[in-house]
Amino acid sequence: MMCRLSVLLLVACAIAYPSTSAHAQTPNDESTHFCRFVMVPMRDGVKLNTKVCEMKGSTAPLPIILDRTPYGINDMQAINGEYRFLAADGYQFVYQDIRGRFKSEGKFLMNAPLRTPADTRKWDESTDAYDTVDWLIKNVANNNGRVGVLGVSYPGFLTTMAGVNPHPAVKAISPQAPMTDTWLGDDFFHQGAFRLSYGFEYAGDMELSVDQSVPLPIGNWDTYDFYLNLGSLANVETKYFKSKVPTWSAFVAHPTYDAYWQARAVQRKLEKASVPTLTVGGWWDQEDRWGPLATYKALERSDAAGKNFLVMGPWNHGGWRNSARKMDVVDPGTAAEYLRDIEAPFFATYLKDKKSAAQPEAKLYDAGAKAWRSYDSWPPKNGVQKSLYVRANGALSFDPPTGAELAFDQYVSDPAHPVPYRARPIEQTYDPRGSRWYFWETEDQRFVDGRPDVLTFKSEPLADDVTIAGDVIAHLVAATTGRDADWVVKLIDVFPDSMPSDWKLGGYELMVAHEIMRGRYRKSFSNPEPIQPNVPTEFTVDLHQQSHTFKKGHRLMVQIQSTWFPAYDRNPQTWVKNIFQAKPVDFQAKTHRIWHTPSQPSRVDVTVVPSR
């Protein structure tokens, strides 16, 4: 059983400030800046613990970089680590514990929504950012009256909030891997399917105690066993949390996309980019891949002033801030390049009036081609939509199925034997002894080959490169003997068996796009309905977006399955109004069919652009 304090240090460094451990040998913040702690007052009288670091030896007024976090600032040493390229340009740096966390006063509210006229709160994260900036401009010596805000993950959400009704001094923001809609596609749910291991561990870590000193009740090294033995989600409250974890209580009370989650869906509140905004994300972000794409899309709707920019790289969660997180199969080493050539010039342009090369509307990394792509619009306007059809005998083709083929493939999905989402053992999400959580989305998918509850469809080797750029959306025609089912769809790049440049990649199966949706939400995320048994029904699984080249000689693959455990909870596959209250008898094995006929084709739609 792990020490919660160890989890705190890991979460603080790995999520919000991931380069702290990676740059442990670099000088600390105090070597280049004078740092002091102050309590900054908010409009309701609550004071927030804030670390102000002023540059030594500077005579010219400098802008301020602000990073607000729920993960603890006492040991934050980012200036000479992940902020080293910003520091080289000359800034004052400020870190802040948000309310209710560590030494800040007030009550913590997870993912606090913006206030409404009926809200009795005097604050939200937008007003706390405003009040903080107002105090800094008036009390930090030698500042030039300009503030930039950035942060990763939860701090990315806080950064987005700083751009909503921003203080006039806020001149640029960079939400990075922002938790944007935790029901539709970030942290806690994905299209209705509950993120079990993450929801249990993260909510418990954050809310059982302010300083995360209360240990989680996980005694298994392989958490697959712990969560399987847990049984119904109803056991979480009765055995472990006992109403002491407000976010878990919210999961139970709000399993659908109701007003509770919609109020916290940041993209629904964004009207325009009030200040220049550089939104950053990773194509293989295991926590918040949906958030940056949704944030950019929401701001782009009314971006007549050209203030809205997007960067997506070959990274996991916060990987651009931590070279130790590099995933070799997709990333030749791009983190420092991003920090030096994209992030630092962006802030220098708007906070220091430094002229630099124009920031492209969208700068996206293509891991298949190992190259950055720049686009004037995202998704690009020159793309052509094509469909990848699943076919009989495990085939995959841009040509639709014919009437001469078998009509469907089927498998038995058994909640008692769910498909693991990565190779076992599955460590705790932020296990201080080490966890492969950060890398699982690039894990070789051959570990599920041969399972009877995973369908695999594979193309012939490609005669030419195929480059996709934009939306990836699966349309399944499926039937089940049950009354509910989850659908997991993975678009995979299969490497040739012979890879002389790197032999260990021979035959590698790399997930390029992937997602899950809960069948009960096929018509509405707010109003679930049971599935009619044994009736072919269309289900749309949004795999979101990608920029990737499938190289000549590679194969395209689509895998379909109905469990992804314990990243996602088990669907009982019977009709249960609230799965958080399901009984053991509700969990039943069912047979699922994936149809592939001319009139009922199952397919994955992609946008193909000219290869470069």
93 and 160 share one domain: yes
Q: Provide the edge-to-edge strand list for the sheet that holds 486-494.
A: 454-458, 555-561, 486-494, 509-518
pLDDT given at position 398: 98
Alpha-carbon gap, residue 508 to 504, rounded angstroms: 8
Q: How many helices (H) and strands (E) does the chain have?
A: 13, 23
Same domain, 587 and 495: yes
Domain-ending residue, one of 375, 404, 438? 375
The answer to the question of residue 277 being in a domain is: yes
Place of tokens 């300083």: 211
Pairing of the two strands 362-366 and 189-190? unpaired
Q: Give residue 396's identity as a one-letter amino acid code.
A: L
Q: How far apart are CA 576 and CA 461, in angstroms?
A: 44
Q: With bands split at pLDDT 50, 70 and 90, how would you rate the model's confidence at 611?
A: confident
Whether 364 and 389 share a structural domain:
no
Is pLDDT at 17 greater than 50 in this prediction?
Answer: no
Q: Which tens digits make up the pLDDT trace of 433-479?
A: 899 999 999 999 999 999 999 999 999 999 999 999 999 999 999 99
**Cα(first)–Cα(last) distance of the chain, in Å?**
51
Structural domain contains residue 467: yes
> Looking at the domain assignment, is residue 229 inside a domain?
no
Contacts of 38 (CB under 8 A, 6+ apart): 50, 52, 139
- Which pLDDT score is estimated for 59? 86
452 and 591 fall within a common domain: yes
Domain ends where: 375, 410, 431?
375
On the 0-12 / 13-18 / 19+ scale of CB atoms within 10 A, 182 is: buried
- CA dist 288 and 351 (Å) reads 27
Q: Domain for residue 208, yes or no?
A: no
Task: For residue 405, give the 3-state DSSP assignment.
Answer: coil
Question: What confidence category does residue 210 fall into, taking pLDDT thresholds of 50, 70 and 90?
Answer: confident
**242 lies in some domain:** no
Domain with 560, as residue range(s), is 384-609
CATH number, residue 138: 3.40.50.1820
Which residue bears the tokens 């000479």? 80
pLDDT of 134 strictly over 70: yes
Q: What is the pLDDT of residues 75-88, one digit of tens each?
A: 888 998 999 999 99
User: How many angstroms separate the CA atoms of 80 and 210, rounded?
Assistant: 28
Phi/psi of residue 58, nearest 5 degrees? -90, 135
CA 369 to CA 430: how far, in whole Å?
Answer: 32
- The helix-helix angle for 196-207 and 246-253 (nearest 10°) equals 140
Residues 418 and 557 in one domain: yes
* pLDDT attached to residue 212: 67
Positive or negative, the CA dihedral 203, 108, 37, 95 is: positive
SS3 265: coil
CATH of residue 392's domain is 2.60.120.260
Q: Are residues 283 and 419 in the same domain?
A: no
pLDDT at 11 over 60: no
The radius of gyration computed from the CA coordinates of the chain, to the nearest angstrom, equals 24
Q: How far is CA 31 from CA 21, 54, 136, 478, 485, in A?
A: 17, 11, 22, 61, 56
Look at residue 372 and tell me whether its pLDDT is greater than 90: yes
User: Within a domain: residue 198?
Assistant: no
At 517-566, the pLDDT tens digits run 999 999 999 999 999 999 999 999 999 999 999 999 999 999 999 999 99
Place of tokens 């053991």: 584
Predicted confidence band of residue 27 (pLDDT cuts 50, 70, 90): low
Co-location of 419 and 328 in the same domain: no
- Residue 441 and residue 338 share a domain: no
Q: Which helix (H) or strand (E) holds 97?
A: strand 92-97
Instruction: Give the number of domains in the chain.
Output: 2
Given a contact cutoff of 8 angstroms between Cβ atoms, the answer to whether 292 and 281 are in contact is: yes
354 and 413 part of one domain:
no
Q: Are 448 and 503 contacting, i.e. CB atoms less than 8 angstroms apart?
A: no
What integer best gives the mean pLDDT of the chain? 93
- Which H, E and C letters describe 24-88, residue by residue? CCCCCHHHCEEEEEEEEECCCCCEEEEEEEEECCCCCCEEEEEEEECCCCCCCCCCCCCCHHHHH
Beta bridge partners of 456: 559
Per-residue pLDDT, 373:
97
**What is the tens place of the pLDDT at every residue in 561-596?**
999 999 999 999 999 999 999 999 999 999 999 999
Q: What pLDDT is attached to residue 9?
A: 35
Asked if the peptide bond before residue 566 counts as cis, ω within 30 degrees of 0, the response is yes
Please check whether residue 553 lies inside any domain of the structure.
yes
Residue 57 lies in a domain: yes
283 and 348, same domain (yes or no): yes
pLDDT digits (tens, 9 = 90+) for 477-486: 999 999 999 9
Residues 42, 127: one domain?
A: yes
**Residue 20 reports pLDDT greater than 90:** no
Q: Based on the fold, state whether residues 424 and 351 are members of the same structural domain.
A: no
The amino acid that residue 241 corresponds to is F
Decide which of 326, 347, 375 is a domain's last residue: 375
